[in-house]
Chain A
């Protein structure tokens, strides 16, 4: 466990994610203004950052920082809901398909493949478009709908892993004892799948952020419901980037927020990857001492390095 925490990627990922979780939790509470309120009705141009508005204002004089903080909760919440729901679906379908086999497997796999191939965003656009902006789905519902398009990838991976586990001895012994199928799935197989489930969860949250932001940007989701995507919708609407005085403060914060949140999750994923697949970790000749002894930083494949001093290191535990 300590080894896991020592990985710089893991730490960076954890820090980033922690920051965003905090934003989601207390964002709306610490926002200086309401995101809808216009500070003035006479100015028609977005204002750059100032003392009163730390991140400047939009064209209609709304505070960007407040929008960022309030929108943050919505964005992060929807992504997390999507992640949890999709992972639950993936685990349910994937493990069942892998364990039960036969026609159940064929059916579930076919279902997963269909959802995998169907382009998600266009489908979601049609769904949300038809739902209509008057219906105003809440964050939870949005998350679940997004999850319906995002479970297939994780399901496939879990199914593959379950298939290889099913053949192993400990499952057979559980069967012989007479444990029921669902118990075997839940208590024998599932614990071994934790790293994959974790990776799948993180990946789906990233997918959720991206998709939700895209949907908000398109205006398919109610544009008065604040989220980072909505901020970008309004920024693009006002041509913030095309304006001669580029209004950086308007579109950079929400875009960076999405990117950094996603990056944090991706880094966490790398960390888990490296833990599970040790080959991805740096090979064991790193370190200053190795450098000083004359060993190459990256040994050329096919050319085993030879210690220049040709002095054998005997009894390494006694080495200075």
Chain B
């Protein structure tokens, strides 16, 4: 074996080492900072003061209460909304299923910050045009709805996340074999008994895991608490952690102590969630192949039901987007339906498109997202390959490494990476590389989902045939695996690219004077009093390209003939880890 071959054999282990570093180091940094006096300034005296500062007093109970109410509330609202959509699309003959599916996928493209912003334009007590409509319609003196409330926060996040619940629940509802319900009927069960004893127990794992997933996403979310919760003085963990690291005297120890509590909550929820997913998979295998799902015939209610679901999408996603679009065409506050179109102008776009900071942020965001997507696709391909193909007993560790970040909120990734590279003498602090590290860590689970789902579809013997024919590992990757996986890897690349452009929670910690990204400049412009029109134009200029990219991805996945199917939307949403099926030789 030559030197090159030996290096090729090392590549897999280098990838595992990188993943280990990405996941272990931030958590280690948090623990270290939480238990020392001032890790950043080098005072590493062990102490419990940080925990005393963070947890002593009533405010911690309020913080915990707010976070839990917000996350549980979001999970409940999205479950109802997404559950209704899933049921209508999968179990009834109402038209529009394909459209709703595409709309749900499109929701991936919208940055959370802009959703929060748009809802403020609609339901702010002062400037919200929705409130204005209600006031004039019902002759009210005060604004009836206030976005700056717990209910407003839950609604703002739910309107963005309910499509994910639909995408996650859809396959479970589709896979629910009606013959199981029919077997119950034939056995003499009443409709109620069948629902309670067959249908619901069969769906329970899927429902449970979806609820936990949205709970984790809710408690980790940063955009809505920052834009809506903060002015309303409703603190949650994510905003509190971020605040503690800001200001003249950043309290990294306190931030770390709080982050550990949030991390613990997320880890527990994800642990329960993961066992739930495994249950759901074992239930799914019980159902037979090749059955035709028996859908409920709605009769003359077909169209009304479809319209009701369409209205839900229109209100939850269409309304905020239309508001942003409308506002972006006016210099001053311009409620749709109320202001005339006479003052419409493209001046806001002109302003943004010639604004140097915007152009710099676009360059940085696109460059970063492309690098993150490339790094993740390469890293997860190798990791998935090791986990599935090599006979290593460490496969579980690789799976775990690539999955754990799903439980680490972006805010924690941002805070811990900031801490790590403030202390470590690696000169990436205040450069775009520190953001790259954060994005790669955050989206590792999604990349892994694509890579392993693609690899499981490639028969191991295709690679072995290459080895027997005389090909080295590098040749097998280049000539066999890469051409076969190319479409799936491209999907993964685009998906991670979109997520990275959207990212805010980690970015707020890591941007420096020369490294603005789109998320952070939008936030700055909003909070530092940019004009409503300019901020909206900035939003639209982000949403439209992202929507086009997601639409292109969807087109690619449905139109291009593929030998290897991309993972289902439900699996991507959940970044569900596949059971590493390492086929044993007979």
Decide whether A and B assemble into one complex: no
Which residues does B use to contact A, with CB under 8 Å? none
